[in-house]
Amino acid sequence: MKKLLTVLLVLALTVSLFAACSPKSAKGVTIAVPNDATNEARALLLLEANGFLKLKEGVGIEATKLDIVENPHNITIEEIEAPQLPSLLKDFDYAVINSNYALEAGLHPVKDSFVIEGAESPYANILAVKAGNENEPKLLALKAALESQQVADFISATYDGAVVSTVTAPTDGYDPSIDYDALSGVTITVAATPVPHAEVLAVAKEILAAKGITLDIREFTDYVQPNNVVDSGEIDANYFQHLPYLEDFNAKNGTNLVSISAIHVEPLGLYGGKQTDTDALK
């Protein structure tokens, strides 16, 4: 009996020692990601690029959590509405958050994230309009204002790398092919999320105002209505999304919107919730 108790005690101590020495990741961690198709894939690609998991070869921007083929850290992926991620961050070990929502929540994408997309990200945020309206003078005027040096300088000075201009040849903000006198007194409506899009549009608003054009910026906090109101004709344009998201939205919702310019990139970042470092992913 004494020998049996000794054996059991040794086994118990061995199990305890193993548990104490096991890495945090053996318990598994939960990472929340945006639940829309393109941003979920983008989040998973970010995690793969940093060695946290491996995806099925070739899935690219169509990846879902079902495409994870190697998961050495026992990561559980939770799909959450993108705008809710900052407020729910404390409920998860980590979350992959779009920079616009991070900025709204007081998080600095460069300083506060553990890993972040590079400026070469293909997910540039676009100015989108209803198909058929691409050459309307007032929309070309808005496009020119957003492609200005003033906007590029504002982005660089304001966001410290958290938002990066993708306009390769910024202009003075005006399109020489447009009759601005004919547009004087015209109002352009544009749907946008508050940060950084509405802030960037405020710069474009000043450029247009110098020509007597009013830019009416309508703020939205979701990724659905800004497309619906442009497709219905209620609003002229929107500025909040990247092209892969728009293409997926069109396919799923029967909308017919197109991009007329790519303005900036908001790098997607991995932020800590319950975890204060990435040790659980090592």
Statement to judge: residues 107 and 156 lie in one domain: no
Statement to judge: residues 108 and 136 lie in one domain: no
List CB contacts of 71: < 8 A, sequence separation 6 or more: 53, 54
The average confidence (pLDDT) of the chain is 91
User: What is the rounded CA–CA span in Å between residue 116 and residue 272?
Assistant: 12
Statement to judge: residues 155 and 206 lie in one domain: yes
Q: What is the CATH number of the domain that holds 275?
A: 3.40.190.10
Q: Are strands 29-34 and 94-97 parallel, antiparallel or unpaired?
A: parallel
Average pLDDT over residues 26-42: 90
101: Cα separation from own chain's centroid: 8
Statement to judge: residues 96 and 109 lie in one domain: yes
Statement to judge: residues 89 and 128 lie in one domain: no
Evaluate if pTM is beyond 0.85: no
Statement to judge: residues 157 and 212 lie in one domain: yes
Statement to judge: residues 132 and 101 lie in one domain: no
> Looking at residue 8, what is its pLDDT?
42
**CA–CA–CA angle 255, 261, 265 (5° rounding):** 100
> Looking at residue 282, what is its pLDDT?
87
Statement to judge: residues 141 and 36 lie in one domain: no
User: What is the rounded CA–CA span in Å between residue 146 and residue 152?
Assistant: 8
Number of domains in the chain: 2
Statement to judge: residues 131 and 260 lie in one domain: yes
Q: What is the CATH number of the domain that holds 212?
A: 3.10.105.10
| Stretch among 17-26, 61-70, 259-268 having the lowest mean pLDDT | 17-26
> Looking at residue 122, what is its pLDDT?
80
Q: For the beta carbon of residue 231, count every other beta carbon within 10 angstroms.
A: 21
Statement to judge: residues 64 and 138 lie in one domain: no
Residue 23 in 3-state DSSP?
coil
**CA–CA–CA angle 98, 189, 143 (5° rounding):** 70
Tens-place pLDDT, residues 106-157: 999 999 999 999 766 789 999 999 999 999 999 999 999 999 999 999 999 9
Domain coverage including residue 39: 2-118+268-281
Statement to judge: residues 147 and 234 lie in one domain: yes
Structure tokens belonging to residue 66? 């079902």
